Chains A and B, each alone.
Chain A
Amino acid sequence: MKALVLERNVARFAASRVSSLLGSGRGAGIGPLQLLDAVHPDVPSDEWFPLRPLLSGICGSDLATLDGRSSRYFEDMVSFPFVPGHEVVGVLDEGGTDHAGRRMEPGARAVIEPVLGCVPRGIRPPCPRCAEGHTGLCGNVAFGDLEPGLQTGFCADTGGGWSQAGLVAHASQLHAVPESLSDEDAVMIEPTACGVHAVLSAGIADGDTVAVVGAGTLGLAVVAALDHLVRPVTPCTVMVGAKHPLQRGLAGSLGADTVVAPDQLARAVRRRSGSLVLAGRLVDGADVVFDCVGSSDSLTQSLAMVKARGKVVMVGMPGKVSIDLAPLWHRELSVVGAYAYGSESIPPGAEPRRSFELAIDLVAAAGLGSLVSAAYPLERYEEAIGHAGAAGRRGATKVVFDLRTSKGTTR
């Protein structure tokens, strides 16, 4: 059995970074990722269960890590060597217990909520953030019983989804996959949960104009979450800037009111609001902008199209960006992050539910499994990562590893 393992190797990271200048994922073959014989991680305690991956997605943060583009901020929150893969649907061959303490039979399918907060780390009592269910905000991701790792897939102790041998998951991380969901649906739950969390933490109000910059997996998850979770109780207009034709089609089918090319989004928002333009920025632009790209360009664009005192939500993982903050100061803008998932209440004040639970329902309702465009066996990891790095351009959305077969599929 094989696994893709990422080792701390400065030379390989450097080579990968150089190659990635030609395009994200182009350095997979010479970078720090290697296909090695898989070693099944030890099971830390009886609260942990082996999970055999079926599908495991390639995320933008994975690509950033492989390209050597990740922020050095994360250096203390990972432990090497690790097996990437935090978007995982797998099988509990020996059964297990889910996050709510429910028994899961052997052979049951599960997805993992990969954040490694206080509870998986054996830290008792948990920190206030974890106690409130906001595990994504846990500050103990480098402490406790496990090696550092903010999520499964970045931790040396847990293994990750890009492994035929499997990983270990804490009960608090496990969510049962309903029978009605396909494996493709299930592997979309994790990125969908990110979209759910971003949307529900944005404070969208009735009649708001909401702009979404970028329509990759996260952008589309945001659009779907807006349409299914926000609009039924809080009507708003959703406008999306999508680079590629397939993305534009998907954004429209998922409920966006307006879908345009990225360079047209600010103009479309301006037209809707009838705003004047001052210093290249909309005076009365969007109420909320979701930046689902995380680059200097996308953040600059987002700040230019949000109204005064509006909010830009960073959904895509940003790195080091260079940006003029004068307009942020002058226009009293808010830039907030939306990392991972947590505990959500719809409507506000209602009984909280995990972002993952809402995401499971959303994936089913919006048919997000269809966003899985290609599945590769681990052995073809260079192709897979190259495909994921050029997903939009190549007419794809989510590229995954298929651990069920050695052949893989392309939709």
Chain B
Amino acid sequence: MSPRPGFVLDVDRSTPPTLFWHGERFSLERLPEGSRVIYAPEPLDPLADPSAAIRSALTHPVGDRDPLPALLRPGMTLTIAFDDISLPLPPMERPDIRQMVIEQVLDMAAEAGVDDVALIVALALHRRMTEAELRHALGDRIYDAFAPNGLLTQHDAEDPEALVHLGLTEQGEDVEINRRAAESDLLVYVNINLVAMDGGHKSVATGLASYKSLRHHHNPKTMQQSRSFMDQHRSELHSSNWRMGRLIADSGVTVFQIETTLNNDTFPSTFGFLQKREWEWGARDRLGYLAASKALDRTPPRLARQIFQSVKAPHRMTSVQAGEVEAVHALTTEHVWQQQGVSVDGQTDILTMGLPYISPYNVNSILNPILVACLGLGYFFNLYRGKPLVREGGVLIMSHPTPWEFNPVHHPSYIDFFEQVLTETTDPVEVAEGFEESFATDPWYIHLYRTGHAYHGVHPFYMWYWCAHALQHLGAVIVVGGDGPAVHRLGFRSASTLADALEMAQDVVGRSPSLTHLHTPPILMADVQ
């Protein structure tokens, strides 16, 4: 039986309670009659033979690009860059897609007699990955072959010697990327496309760029003009990256882009109920929910976090395409939409969502309040094409404990941003104008980014800018079950229960509002008509 497409449920009297994520916990909430619940499509069937599919993609590229073996020759320099720890979510069961793809690229390089091969983690301003994380992504064989010799490196956006300025786009945007990548005879980029925002020219133009380059598109203006940044064709974020990507190509950098898509089989069988629609829960699912929720209710938050951090997703590859960047990405985007797209008729007054424990920036870490805001207002709000799910002036209600808690190793500048910037203003433009530069150039943050496992000093600003479109669009944001002071620091309202939140929302959107619940994860993209 083929997987069923996404679905919009109209809640009536017989509808069972709806599952809401709440960080490392869940709850079942009864939504008002007439509400809508948007469910993701069921997981697409994976590729039957992913290894064969990868080989086929490498040897039958799309767009104006020769097959990979034809691009490889003795004496050349080859750089393989790949997506970092932020993808996929949750981290996938072994073998990771990056390992599967890179092993074949390396085999072809070996067959062609290419000796000068280097691997670079395209982490932009993200934190450096740990050895364990790299081993998980690449497999022990690749790690042991490259890391001890210094041939597996992590992009350093603050090392002037390791960067090269390729020029300015027609709009005056600096394009400064990793020197090794830019000066190699061939740059192979290995991507995992979890959401429609990922991939394309963004892979190199963002993943291997410097702050000087990134600031041109990671700013409030760009984010406010991206409607949404999940829709490449209406995203200023992407327009800027595309301009940069074309300049990179025009500069003589040959990029062989390899993009992959995953099905949304997100959680292992222990949490099988999370993949199902509630009215289809069987006895096993109900038992699973009860066991999980009761156990988690009794589990200290730190332990609950550790439990979830150990979860590996059974994602499977649904497509792989390689070749010229734009041609590849067009196919990738089709596959992403095929897995995640759900047609939704019209906007809603109130959008509800339960936020899970994980976002791209807290893998093996804490979802701190800024990341909570970013996950809800940045990512989930923007999971649309056409129009936002919630109308302008509407209310976003998100459920998450929002603890006033930070990982000081991963997110040191986030702590200062929360303590020192959000106390002054929550306006993204004022935040950018008043504080960004001093955080971006703070030598301590730079040191921690370069030598430790810290996100760059400017990164919390980007998380806040990610929220800019939603902050501009919404009438109110209410957090259910959040830590009051933390929620208020974010500039949001706090409610103890969903019922309270709905009552509060009516002060903004009026009586008898329409309500839509975004039932994610698994990830979906709403195509709002």
**Interface residue from A260, A264, A276 paired with B444 (Cβ < 8 Å):** A276
Let me know if B447 is at the binding interface, CB within 8 A: yes
Residues facing B in A260-276 (CB within 8 A) are 260-261, 264, 267-268, 270-271, 274-276
Let me know if B510 is at the binding interface, CB within 8 A: no
Residues facing B in A262-292 (CB within 8 A) are 264, 267-268, 270-271, 274-277
- Whether the Cβ atoms of B420 and A271 lie closer than 8 Å is yes
- Whether the Cβ atoms of B419 and A264 lie closer than 8 Å is yes
**Interface residue from B419, B438, B444 paired with A275 (Cβ < 8 Å):** B444
A275 to B447, CA, bound (A): 11
Let me know if B443 is at the binding interface, CB within 8 A: yes
A264 to B419, CA, bound (A): 7
- Whether the Cβ atoms of A274 and B419 lie closer than 8 Å is no
Give the secondary structure class of A's interface. mixed
CB distance from A194 to the nearest CB of B (A): 30
A307 to B411, CA, bound (A): 24
Let me know if B442 is at the binding interface, CB within 8 A: yes
Q: Which residues of B contact A274 (CB under 8 A)?
A: 438, 441-444
Q: Which residues of A contact B441 (CB under 8 A)?
A: 274
Which of B441, B443, B444 has the most CB atoms of chain A within a 10 A radius of its CB? B444
Q: Which residues of B contact A277 (CB under 8 A)?
A: 444
Let me know if B416 is at the binding interface, CB within 8 A: yes
- Whether the Cβ atoms of B419 and A270 lie closer than 8 Å is no
Chain B residue with minimal CB distance to A283?
B444
Residues facing A in B376-432 (CB within 8 A) are 415-416, 419-420
- Whether the Cβ atoms of B444 and A270 lie closer than 8 Å is yes
**Interface residue from B419, B438, B443, B447 paired with A267 (Cβ < 8 Å):** B419
- Whether the Cβ atoms of B444 and A267 lie closer than 8 Å is no
**Interface residue from A260, A264, A276 paired with B447 (Cβ < 8 Å):** A276
A153 to B443, CA, bound (A): 51
A261 to B423, CA, bound (A): 12
A264 to B447, CA, bound (A): 20
- Whether the Cβ atoms of B419 and A268 lie closer than 8 Å is yes
CB distance from A250 to the nearest CB of B (A): 17
Chain A residue with minimal CB distance to B448?
A277
Q: Which residues of A contact B443 (CB under 8 A)?
A: 274, 276
Chain B residue with minimal CB distance to A263?
B419
Which of A260, A261, A264 has the most CB atoms of chain B within a 10 A radius of its CB? A264
CB distance from A271 to the nearest CB of B (A): 5
Q: Which residues of A contact B420 (CB under 8 A)?
A: 258, 260, 264, 267-268, 271
Residues facing B in A334-364 (CB within 8 A) are none
CB distance from A25 to the nearest CB of B (A): 28
- Whether the Cβ atoms of B447 and A271 lie closer than 8 Å is no
29 examples of A-B residue contacts, CB within 8 angstroms: A258-B420, A260-B419, A260-B420, A261-B419, A264-B419, A264-B420, A267-B415, A267-B416, A267-B419, A267-B420, A268-B416, A268-B419, A268-B420, A270-B416, A270-B444, A271-B416, A271-B420, A271-B438, A271-B442, A274-B438, A274-B441, A274-B442, A274-B443, A274-B444, A275-B444, A276-B443, A276-B444, A276-B447, A277-B444
Q: Give residues in A with beta carbon < 8 Å to B.
A: 258, 260-261, 264, 267-268, 270-271, 274-277
Q: Sorted from nearest, which 4 A-B pairs have the closest CB atoms? A: A264-B419, A276-B444, A271-B416, A274-B442
Known: A271-B420, A275-B444, A276-B444. 9 other contacts (CB 8 A): A260-B419, A267-B416, A268-B419, A270-B416, A270-B444, A271-B442, A274-B441, A274-B444, A277-B444
